[in-house]
A = this chain, B = another copy of it.
Amino acid sequence: MVASTPGQHPPPEQHHPRADAAELRALRARLAALDPAEATNVIERMPNDERAIAFRLLPKGEALEVFENLDPALQSELIDELREETIADLVAGLDPDDRARLFDELPAGLVAKLLSGLSPSERSMTTTLLGYPENSAGRRMTPEVAWLPVDMTAGRAIERLRAYGDAAETIYSVPVLAEGRRVVGVVSLRRLLLSDPATPLGEIMSEPVWAEATDDQEDAARQVREGGFIAIPIVDHESRLVGVLTVDDAMEILEDEEDEDAARSGGTEPLRRPYLSTSLFGLVKARVVWLLVLIVAASLTVGVQSFFEEELDTVVALALFIPLLIGTGGNAGAQAATTVVRAMAVEHVTPGDILRVVGREVLVGAMLGATLATVGFLPAMLVAGAPIAVVLAITVVAVCTLATTAGSAVPLTARKVGVDPAIVSAPFIATIVDTLGLIIYFSVAKVVLGI
């Protein structure tokens, strides 16, 4: 009864481009035994050429639910492989917000054709959503919204919500409107049920927490998460109701943003589709640009080392510790960057805190460096002698301090100037710190060793 985890179903290991009849029967039987969530998992994990075959084998009622569960990128690929009527049915069956996300992935000509096949009300809802900027709350809200007039009584309100039936996305948290569709409150179905039926809504509604349709979808989703709401109203600039953002969409938005942050923290672009359904080329594409950018940045280290070649020749032992030193700087920088990027993501830190945060990180870096220097001094002295151990100790304090400073200041500054802070995160900062760390190392060595 418990929803399956993907691990319970071994992935199809055969990669035949065309399955034969017996295999098809077996696959059909296997899919029929699964609930839609499980079937989605299985289909997501299939190689691209098998996915459409499996999808066509699904029982009709289940097919729509599985289609809804798939990522827009997979939906759009499936559409390439299905017959026109099937496509029209699937698209008509989607919620307007899911439909808008799918249309983003499809060629404009096909979108126009699919739009023309929708009922006028579905079509108008979809084009409205598509009219909002990408990544805005308006794109992800549902326009199928139940609402109540402020002068209605609790008893009549329940009747009216009943009349909405399944036409509204949620009837548990309902915007209360005054004249001109202005949102003046929100009332929960529970409150309605618990109130005297004669009570006017104005007396039992609560202050609305809303987002504007042009707000960033992540900010709107975070409001849902922080308030523990089932839905929040989405309004236009004059606080008129245009839709609601429900908690399940909010969770999906936040998970997509986590995907993005997690990917960028590792120096790759987010895949925006399940890993196993991503082509090798797709994986390479997500990573190669960053790797090239980072290698170009890292080529500065070659320049720095050439510049200090004389010192290196004089004290060859210095070279031994280069990977260790810059690795440590990179790690300390990655720690600071990860911590600060995450703190910004959950809004524990804002760009306005930059001085306070960087001030703390300078101290933390110095403390970390001092700890490492203390612990490492004796081993370093045994390996390389006291003078070099002194150079290493001083350098490690300087490099750690530099790393935590850069690791905190760079993402905060990025956010301040409107760049996604996750982009300039761990690997990027490690590369900066590598170069500066080498300069510090050789400079300290010159002074301490008198070379």
Residues of A that sit less than 8 Å from B by CB: 1-3, 5-7, 10-11, 35, 37, 41, 44-45, 158, 161-162, 165-166, 171-172, 189-190, 193-194, 207-212, 215, 219, 223, 225-228, 230, 239, 247-248, 250-251, 254-255, 258-259, 261-263, 265-268, 271, 274-276, 280, 283-284, 286-288, 290-292, 294-295, 298-299, 301-302, 305-306, 309, 312-313, 316, 319-324, 326-328, 330-332, 334-335, 337-343, 345-353, 356-357, 360, 363-364, 367-368, 371-372, 375-376, 379, 383, 426-427, 430-431, 434, 438
Q: Are A171 and B158 in contact (CB under 8 A)?
A: no
CB distance from A168 to the nearest CB of B (A): 9
Chain B residues, CB < 8 A from A190 = 166, 171-172
Q: Chain B residues with Cβ under 8 A from A262's Cβ? A: 261-262, 265, 338, 341-342, 345
Residues of B with C-beta under 8 A to A343: 274-276
- Shortest C-beta distance, A310 to chain B (Å), equals 11
Decide: A379 near B427, CB < 8 A? Known: A189-B172, A287-B368.
no
Contact residues in B for A276 (Cβ distance below 8 Å): 343, 348-349, 353, 356-357
Contacts A262-B262, A327-B431, A328-B298 given: A6-B334 contact, CB under 8 Å?
Answer: no
The residue of chain B having its C-beta at the shortest distance from the C-beta of A258 within the complex is B258
Q: List 11 A-B contacts (CB under 8 A).
A: A7-B351, A225-B248, A230-B247, A250-B251, A262-B262, A267-B338, A274-B348, A276-B343, A291-B331, A301-B327, A302-B323
A330 & B288 in contact (Cβ 8 Å cutoff):
no
Partner of A280, one of B3, B347, B363, B430: B363
How near does chain B come to A251, taking the closest CB pair, in angstroms? 5
**A239-B1, A275-B348 are contacts. A426–B283 as well, Cβ < 8 Å?**
no
Residues of B within 8 A of A338 (CB): 262-263, 265-268
- A37, A287, A360: which has the most chain B beta carbons within 10 Å? A287
Query: Chain B contacts of A228 at CB under 8 A?
Result: 248, 251
* A258-B258 Cα distance, complex, nearest whole Å: 8
User: A326 near B323 (CB under 8 angstroms)?
Assistant: yes
Q: How far is the CA of A210 from the CA of B1 in the complex (A)?
A: 7
- Neighbour of A275 across the interface among B302, B306, B327, B357, CB < 8 A: B357
| This chain: copies in complex | 2
Report the bound CA distance from A367 to B225 in whole Å: 41
Contacts of A209 in B (CB 8 A): 1-3
Minimum CB–CB distance for A140 against chain B, Å: 14
Are B275 and A339 interface neighbours, CB within 8 A?
A: yes
Q: Which residue of B lies closest to A438 (CB)?
A: B323
Give every chain B residue within 8 A of A261 (Cβ-Cβ): 262
A78 to chain B, nearest CB (A): 17
A161 to B338, CA, bound (A): 46
Collect the chain B residues with CB atoms within 8 Å of residue A271's CB.
339
What B residues does A254 contact at CB under 8 A? 251, 255
On chain B, the residues within 8 Å of A165 by CB distance are 194
A67 to B209, CA, bound (A): 20
Q: Are A360 and B255 in contact (CB under 8 A)?
A: no
How far is A317 from B374 in the complex, measured between Cα atoms in Å?
Answer: 33
Whole-angstrom distance between the Cβ of A209 and the nearest chain B Cβ: 5
Output the least CB separation between A89 and chain B (Å). Answer: 22
The reply to whether A360 and B172 form a contact with Cβ atoms under 8 Å apart is no
Contacts of A334 in B (CB 8 A): 266-267, 426-427
The residue in chain B whose Cβ has the minimal distance to the Cβ of A5 is B347
Query: Could you say which residues of chain B place their CB within 8 Å of the CB of A45?
Result: 348, 353
Closest to A309 in B: B316
Q: Which chain B residue has the least Cβ–Cβ distance from A345?
A: B262
Q: Select from chain B the residue with minimum beta-carbon distance to A257.
A: B258
Q: Which residue in B3, B332, B367 is a CB contact (below 8 Å) of A227? A: B3
Complex: chain B residue closest to A384, CB-CB: B302
Residue contact B335 to A319, C-beta cutoff 8 Å = no
